[in-house]
Structure 1
């Protein structure tokens, strides 16, 4: 499925300020970038870096005092693999590739070590594999209220489990924590999300499971607000601390981000909710 997407970000900069952006699409096997443009105003020299482990694309600029804007536009062809959930199972710790083991460890916002008892009591008897991760997402959707402004940059999975309110970032951190507590590698993914209303940068998770073609990463949206086959990924990380869409290192005022993603086909189908979505 082909999509047109992008974002427009605006800032009033008080003094010369470095910015680090992560808004460009990741170059991964299941999404092909057809076209893309990045416009900075004023025109600035940009330093680029792609993280080897993840494919995340970072952009650094130093904006002068005054008005500064960034606009990113792209056309992308998404080709996630649809599989039967019954065929997607878990891996034993001794089978997980060493580079993937880092996604079993607690991280800043995902204190999986402190949620093990709750995870085992709530999900320990679920069928291992895709079904268990899906059960985690269903539980979060049913037991945590989606409330804008209920959390901030300090809110962690422990806070969300206690307060039972948050936004997509908080839903994802809690799902990741439960997965890791159960021995399932899981990571955070930022994305442009088709059918998300209102449009915004969206957070989902990826769980490392074994499918018919071998081990790989599978997409889940604990908020249930987007179409899983319309998630154009930007960055992947242990948690949100590593994939903020913008990080200014100075005093700035900012506009509300303008984010969009539109299907090029006027009436494309969403993936069946009963199917597993493999992204890598």
Structure 2
């Protein structure tokens, strides 16, 4: 299967403004790039590529005053399989976890697992440890959060999402991350492109998606509490502790978003 994916993001800046972008595929993405997905701009500015502490591909630049458009457009080849389901994957005792997983056990800015510990154990403490427990978390979050683009709020945390019962995909992910970490399951926040390949129409407009990865049975596994079903055409862009670690664009000054277009489709 070949997937054409990419985005256009336009901004207006009042004055030259530093910017970091995470819009290209992650080095661990399971597909193979047929066409490089390097970031392009419509301004003659130098780009510096680097990897952040979580291994995400980033580009930094100084946006000039005025209008600037960031563009990624590429083609990826992958096997077309849906997200794997490994129902037998076991949960590790904390003392047996690899050291590199431990940062994904603790509370972070948007995922207050410490504050949600009692609630997590009340809701899920009697579920079988391992894959079934994570699935129970995703089922509960999927059923208790109402989705709507109008519900988006950049400062909403996991505890906020639980309280108001609504949000967008990042809120589903944050609440699931917080619950899983409270249950001693290392969990990462992920963002990327997600196609509608194999999904019934009508399809909503293209957008970036958020999901989670949990460490079970000696490996990281994908769960998607927003859609709550294995999907095709998932292209990882970045992962971290929560959305604060992986903003798609991080601008160091005021700006206005003037253009937003995202696509991921089979060709």
Judged with a 3 Å threshold, the aligned counterparts in structure 2 of structure 1 residues 233 and 18 are, in CA distance, closer, same or farther, namely same
Question: Unaligned stretches of 5+ in structure 2?
Answer: 197-202
Q: 1:251: how far off?
A: 2.2
* Contact 1:32–1:77, Cα closer than 8 Å, also in 2: yes
The C-alpha deviation readout for 1:139-194, integer Å capped at 9, x for no partner, is: 11111111223242211001011111110011100000000000100010001011
**Partner residue in 2 for 1:7:** 7
**Partner residue in 1 for 2:199:** none
Q: 1:32: how far off?
A: 2.1
* Contact 1:78–1:229, Cα closer than 8 Å, also in 2: no
Q: What is the root-mean-square deviation in Å for CA atoms of aligned residues?
A: 1.8
Q: Give the whole-Å Cα distance in 1 for the aligned partners of 2:253 and 2:123.
A: 43
Q: Give the whole-Å Cα distance in 1 for the aligned partners of 2:246 and 2:85.
A: 30
Q: 1:43: how far off?
A: 2.3
**Partner residue in 2 for 1:197:** 204
**Partner residue in 2 for 1:27:** 27
Judged with a 3 Å threshold, the aligned counterparts in structure 2 of structure 1 residues 221 and 21 are, in CA distance, closer, same or farther, namely same
The C-alpha deviation readout for 1:228-260, integer Å capped at 9, x for no partner, is: 332100000000001111111122111241000
Q: 1:3: how far off?
A: 1.0
The C-alpha deviation readout for 1:8-28, integer Å capped at 9, x for no partner, is: 011111111111100010011
Q: 1:96: how far off?
A: 0.8
* Contact 2:84–2:230, Cα closer than 8 Å, also in 1: no
**Partner residue in 2 for 1:262:** 265
Q: Give the whole-Å Cα distance in 2 for the aligned partners of 1:228 and 1:78.
A: 13
* Contact 2:29–2:235, Cα closer than 8 Å, also in 1: no
Q: How many residues align?
A: 259
**Partner residue in 1 for 2:200:** none
- Secondary structure class of the residue paired with 2:232: helix
Question: Where do 1:128-277 residues align within 5 Å?
Answer: 128-195=129-196, 197-210=204-217, 215-224=218-227, 228-264=231-267
Task: Single out whichever of 75-84 and 176-185 deviates more from structure 2.
Answer: 75-84
Question: Unaligned stretches of 5+ in structure 1?
Answer: 265-280
Task: Single out whichever of 168-177 and 228-237 deviates more from structure 2.
Answer: 228-237
* Contact 1:194–1:226, Cα closer than 8 Å, also in 2: no
Q: 1:263: how far off?
A: 1.5
TM-score relative to the length of structure 1:
0.87
Q: Give the whole-Å Cα distance in 1 for the aligned partners of 2:29 and 2:70.
A: 27
Judged with a 3 Å threshold, the aligned counterparts in structure 2 of structure 1 residues 35 and 178 are, in CA distance, closer, same or farther, namely same
Judged with a 3 Å threshold, the aligned counterparts in structure 2 of structure 1 residues 133 and 256 are, in CA distance, closer, same or farther, namely farther
